[in-house]
Amino acid sequence: MSLSQEFIAFAVAQKALRFGAFRTKAGRPSPYFFNAGVFCDGASLDRLAQFYAEAIIGSGIAVDMLFGPAYKGIPLAAATAVALSRQGRNLPYFYNRKETKDHGEGGALIGSEASGRVLIIDDVISAGTSIRESVALIRAAGATPCGVVVALDRMERGSDGKNGGKDGNTLSAVQEVEYTYGIPVIAVATLEDLLSFLARQVEFQEHAAAVAHYRREYGVVQNQI
Catalytic residues: 101, 103
Closest CA to 123 of 86, 80, 165, 170: 80
CA-based radius of gyration for the chain: 17
CB 195, CB 215: distance < 8 Å: yes
User: Strand 65-68 vs strand 117-121: parallel, antiparallel, or unpaired?
Assistant: parallel
DSSP, collapsed to helix, strand or coil, labels residue 190 as: strand
- Going by C-beta distance under 8 Å and a sequence separation of 6 or more, which residues neighbour residue 136? none
Residues 96/98/99/104 CA torsion (nearest 10 deg): -30
Strands (E) in the chain, as ranges, are: 17-23, 29-34, 65-68, 93-101, 107-111, 117-121, 144-153, 185-190
- Going by C-beta distance under 8 Å and a sequence separation of 6 or more, which residues neighbour residue 185? 125, 147, 148, 149, 150, 153, 174, 177, 178
Cα end-to-end distance, the chain, whole Å:
30
